Structure 1
Amino acid sequence: MGLTGWVSSVVGWLRAGYPDGIPANDYVPLIAVLARRLSHDEVRAVATELVREGRLPVDDADIGTVITKVIDELPCEEDVARVRERLARGGWPLADPRGAA
């Protein structure tokens, strides 16, 4: 399955923000940040691609678990802020680039 342009862009920002891979303590806040902008299917597509590239060292079942954890128990704002800062350094737009006007 190929990535859509938007999901491909998100993966690119994550590569730039996390050039050495995503540390375990950022999994949940990262998914929380992504879930604020992306659909459930888009979050899963991004996570699947990151796993395929070896940047997110979890398996497919773990992706679902992390997404469920975000839905059930939001990460603390400090963790989310840390992840947003890394993503911004990697080029993640602070405003919705899909033009939510």
Structure 2
Amino acid sequence: MIYYVYILASARRGTLYVGVTNDLIRRVYEHRESAVPGFTKRHDVKRLVYFEVHDDISEAIEREKQIKRWRREWKIKLVEEQNEDWHDLWPSLVASGEVSK
């Protein structure tokens, strides 16, 4: 099974959220639709700005915890290394079918 560590943002360099899932499209959809009460709903964090793929759940969870412990500046650098302009990756992710529903 494939697992994803992902970062959502409210805006460019806005409020950040780090999560882990085995179904990236479903999980980001839930965040975007405010389907689940919590941090992302309260802070309007809906823009998928970064994700990485892992083959092992333990590895993915450890990576999520690692990123969550990082300073904000390090998280911003991680995003900007792959997504300099903070584009919302959601539309291209869904259109490409890169991640299975």
In the superposition, the TM-score normalised over structure 1's length comes to 0.34
The structure with the largest helix share of the pair is 1
Return the TM-score normalized by structure 2.
0.34
Compare the two structures and name the one with the higher strand fraction: 2
Higher relative contact order (CA 8 A, sep 6+): 1
